[in-house]
Amino acid sequence: MPLYIRRLPGARSRLIDPSSVAKDVVCFNPSKAGNYVYIRATQHDAINETNHILLYNETTKFLGKVDYVGLVPTVNLFRGLEDLRLCMWNERLWFTATTTHASHHMTNEMVLGRFSADAARVEFMQVIDVGMRPVKNVCPFVGMNNDLLLLDMFKSSIYKCFLAPSIPPATETWGIELVKTLKWHAGEPDFYRGSTSPVHLHGSTWGCIAHDIIFNDNTQLVTRLSYLHHWVEFDIERGAVTFVSTPFWIAHWGVEYVSGIDKSSTTSDKVTLYIGVMDKDAMAIETTLSDLRCGK
């Protein structure tokens, strides 16, 4: 049976010129919510990879580095917060991120966080327990009842965040509870991995990008050859996956990762995807919902 893959139509652009940053820094895996665009900036030295938050305000045209505290000391190669997913909730910018040293477990864990009102600093951050570690790519979004939700595509699970009682009482603590387990059509693979936060389409239907990976068949080293992206739609009330597109690639056949999405509030069909290419380039592509949905 032949396997078909398509190149997604759209206008591609770089978010940051690689020549404009230091030689030991790469910028990739952007995401967006409201007027803010996040870009992961990873600084490499002889023994570490340190991740920084770059945040661009589309209203003020200001790009700045956002500092944060609250991570424990680490001897791991990877330092800091990786691959933020952004979400505007109650007029504040929230995020999830991956880190290897939010606790003493020293493996990938998810944190839930919130920026200050001016988005100049991270004012709150904590580990969220979504099960067995390591974990990545759990994406925040706002549900029908203005709930702050998390999508774990790999587990087909949707969680609701809630403010929990804490000791001492003055400490802000958030818990999560499973509210939906997505059901897939018979014969449809249910092992896709999460890529982007979902965006609202209509009624109780949301859409997002998910992905699969082609791995190099090598007995000594497992390497990623290419990402296969899919547009996925689901009905949150029924807990059912209602549509999965044919696979596509965007700007580079190989390691390109869709990390963010923005759906136009004025043009119903316009969608902007934010992608990281080869873990060293941050790009955006303006496309349409129609092109995401179509196949060969």
pLDDT digits (tens, 9 = 90+) for 194-211: 999 999 999 999 999 999
Where in the chain are the domains?
Answer: 7-293
Q: What is the structure's pLDDT at 132?
A: 76
Q: For residue 275, what is the enclosing H or E element?
A: strand 270-277
Q: Among the residues of the chain, which ranges form H helices?
A: 289-293
What are the beta bridge partners of residue 121? 67
**Mean pLDDT over all residues of the chain?**
92
Q: Report d(CA 205, CA 240) in Å as an integer.
A: 10
Q: Are 79 and 102 in contact (CB under 8 A)?
A: no
Q: Name the pTM for this structure.
A: 0.93
pLDDT given for residue 220 in this prediction: 67
Q: 271: closest CA among 174, 184, 169, 200?
A: 200
pLDDT along the chain (296 residues), means of 10: 84 93 95 98 93 96 93 89 97 96 89 96 94 86 97 95 82 94 81 92 96 81 83 96 94 94 87 96 96 80
User: DSSP class of residue 154?
Assistant: G
What DSSP state is assigned to residue 139?
E
Share of the chain above pLDDT 70, in %: 97
pLDDT value for 211: 94
Quote the pLDDT of residue 60. 95
What residues contact residue 52 under an 8 Å CB cut-off, 6+ apart? 40, 41, 42, 43, 65, 80
Beta-carbon contacts of residue 280 (< 8 Å; ≥ 6 apart): 18, 26, 27, 28
CA 128/CA 106 separation, integer angstroms: 15
The CATH code of domain 7-293 reads: 2.115.10.20
